[in-house]
Structure 1
Amino acid sequence: MRAPQHLNALRAFEAVARHLSYVGAADELHVTPAAVGQLIRGLEETLDVELFHRAPSGPSRLMLTDAARAVIPDLQAGFDLLSTAVERLKASKARIAITVTVPPAFAHKWFLQRVERFQQRHPYYELRIDTNGQLVDFAAERVDAGIRYGAGHWPDLDATFLLRDEYFPVCSPALLTGEHPLRTPQDLCFHALIHDTSMRAAPVFPTWRSWLRWSGLPELVDCDRGLQINDSAAALQTAISGLGVALGRTTLVERDLAEGRLVRPFGDAQSCELAYYVVHRKETAGEPPIVAFKEWLIDEAGIR
């Protein structure tokens, strides 16, 4: 029996085994019962094994033999694998694009470092990443999903919690030595403060003033002096360059701390009400690309 005929016969055998009926299998396979019977007989002759026998009574007179019953699970698993392989071949010709919007600093410091793992996990989806930092209209600009930083409430969008930052002073290791080494908060008087003003409109966003007040040191330094930078990644890069002390955010500084570009000279971490959320339009919640993207992000964040 040639390979295509053999495969057709195995498919007929599996269908008859589920239906216990040549007629039911024929309807599923869009052939005649006679054609199904011919395939079964040909398979039995080729393998020299009986696959079905007739029961003396009951609603279905067709019964699997013990030999046939033993191989059905493996046969069904094999067809599942074949089906998956075929779907992969189809998908390889038409990759599904997912357009996502990600805050620029978060993209640079956290998200883009992990994108390769998404592609390994979902090779048939292709990410198109927008990092312009503006809040976009998902429907008008055809954005599928995104990450937003805030309180978790945006009109017409579903928001799922992803990560929450803590805030603490960070600086270049170079500032730990020299004429005025950074060892205590009092030493801030001798160094520039780097202010991240990217969330100036959010009153709960931590600032040097709020961190010093929270630490019980509200009068320690002039909180208005220093460098004002409206980009979180640029503010941290300025700290890495040794030009001052910034308030680091957990997700944005984890790699710089691990690789020694930044250090925590002193002080505890202040929490914040704002957090990162995965967002998408409410009506797309069950779509496979959205589910895949969201579940991957949650796994990356270590929530489960």
Structure 2
Amino acid sequence: MKSPVYLNAMRAFEASARHQSFSAAALELNVTPAAIGQLVRSLEDWLGTPLFHRSSSGRAGLVPTEVAQRALPDIRAGFDRLNLGLSRLKEGSANGVLTVTVSPAFAAKWLLPRIDRFQAAWPETDVRLDTSLKLLDFVAQGIDIGVRYGTGSWPGLTAHKLMDEELYPVCSPVLLQNSRRLRKPADLAGQTLIHDQSVESHAGFATWDAWLDAAGVKDVATKRGLRINNSAAVLQAAIDGHGVALARSVMASDDLAAGRLVRLFPEVALTSALAYYVVYRPECGALPKLIAFRDWLVGEASAA
């Protein structure tokens, strides 16, 4: 395969056509307008045909010729493919940046308290954390790997289960100490319930109604209470004594271990139908930095 000739000249031509100006193209490519003009003229000389109708008046000083207009879509597509190829080359190294997407709550309550251990083991890899509840496009957003909460099926992504999850009530030790009636699940009727609405729209997400059904309790009103759309904030509200939260075990584990929260009624077990999964594009599964981070996540989850 022959290498494309005049690559810099084609970049200058494409930018000039897009901006209809040598000066604007020069600003984008960080060179002088004279250098842009010289590159375009060299390409025209090599092709033996002009690429622009040049005008010293009017709103647009440069107007691509008909043949240039026909060629521009292919040239732009070619540059897009070149950029993608360069990204593939960068991905193949254990060095550089690893872009990870997780939810804000998972980052705050699980990943960030542990991330130092990955950085100590892989100091040549810089982690860029993208915290979002949205299902990001891994290609468009430059995402290498992520952790998602759901049933394990996302189009275009390989998913490995990382952790299952239980749901159970928690409260602050102070609230438990001050409450005279928190000895059995039915006693929740006298408490402010804190509801996690962050993933309430997910089919299969267990709510207070599901936990109370598992506990065999019928007379606790669940329509009222404090509703929060962030799992970390749900736990913080419980830590601050604002009520009893239905906690997700992965999120609450460190707070329970530190004594900031107390689990209530451990005799009632409710496993979520949803779980945490490590996800990435199939074609990236052999990249060293991705493998390193995936294996580290699995090891941390096993230890937890």
Name the TM-score class by shorter chain. 0.5 to 0.7
- With normalisation by structure 2, the TM-score equals 0.66
State whether structure 2 residue 243 is matched by structure 1 residue 258.
no
Q: What are the equivalent positions in structure 2 for 1:169-208 lying under 5 Å apart?
A: 169-178=169-178, 180-208=180-208
Counterpart of 2:147?
Answer: 147
One-letter identity of the residue aligned with 1:229: I
Q: What are the equivalent positions in structure 2 for 1:45-84 lying under 5 Å apart?
A: none
Counterpart of 1:127?
Answer: 127
One-letter identity of the residue aligned with 1:271: T
| Contact 1:106/1:252 (8 A) holds in 2 | yes
| Contact 1:162/1:277 (8 A) holds in 2 | yes
| Contact 2:165/2:271 (8 A) holds in 1 | yes
One-letter identity of the residue aligned with 2:172: S
Counterpart of 1:214?
Answer: 214
| Contact 1:102/1:129 (8 A) holds in 2 | yes
What secondary structure sits across from 1:161 in the alignment? Answer: strand
- Mapped partners of 2:145, 2:102: distance in 1: 9
Aligned-pair distance for 1:203? 2.8
Aligned-pair distance for 1:95? 4.0
| Contact 2:175/2:241 (8 A) holds in 1 | yes
Counterpart of 1:165?
Answer: 165
Aligned-pair distance for 1:163? 0.5
What secondary structure sits across from 2:194 in the alignment? Answer: strand
- Mapped partners of 2:254, 2:269: distance in 1: 17
| Contact 1:175/1:181 (8 A) holds in 2 | no
One-letter identity of the residue aligned with 2:259: G
**1:176-205 CA deviation, whole Å, 9 max, x = no partner?**
233544222122121100000111212311
- Mapped partners of 2:239, 2:179: distance in 1: 19
Q: Percent identity at matched positions?
A: 49
| Contact 1:119/1:125 (8 A) holds in 2 | yes
Counterpart of 1:229?
Answer: 228
Aligned-pair distance for 1:121? 1.2
Where does the alignment leave 5 or more consecutive residues of structure 2 unmatched? Answer: 1-93
Aligned-pair distance for 1:175? 1.7
- Mapped partners of 1:107, 1:205: distance in 2: 20
How many residues are matched?
210
Counterpart of 2:288?
Answer: 288
**1:79-115 CA deviation, whole Å, 9 max, x = no partner?**
xxxxxxxxxxxxxxx9410000011111111111111
What secondary structure sits across from 2:158 in the alignment? Answer: strand
Counterpart of 2:51?
Answer: none
What secondary structure sits across from 2:178 in the alignment? Answer: coil
Counterpart of 1:22?
Answer: none
- Mapped partners of 2:262, 2:303: distance in 1: 26
**1:5-60 CA deviation, whole Å, 9 max, x = no partner?**
xxxxxxxxxxxxxxxxxxxxxxxxxxxxxxxxxxxxxxxxxxxxxxxxxxxxxxxx
Counterpart of 2:239?
Answer: 240
Instruction: Give 1 or 2 for the bigger CA radius of gyration.
Output: 1
Counterpart of 2:300?
Answer: 300
| Contact 2:100/2:143 (8 A) holds in 1 | yes
- Mapped partners of 1:265, 1:95: distance in 2: 46
- Mapped partners of 1:301, 1:234: distance in 2: 22
| Contact 2:168/2:264 (8 A) holds in 1 | no
Moved over 3 A (4+): none
- Mapped partners of 1:264, 1:279: distance in 2: 30
What secondary structure sits across from 2:186 in the alignment? Answer: helix
| Contact 2:150/2:275 (8 A) holds in 1 | yes
One-letter identity of the residue aligned with 1:231: N
Counterpart of 1:36?
Answer: none
- Mapped partners of 1:260, 1:174: distance in 2: 11
Aligned-pair distance for 1:132? 2.4
| Contact 2:188/2:220 (8 A) holds in 1 | yes
- Mapped partners of 1:120, 1:178: distance in 2: 43
**1:234-272 CA deviation, whole Å, 9 max, x = no partner?**
111101110110111111111111111100122423101
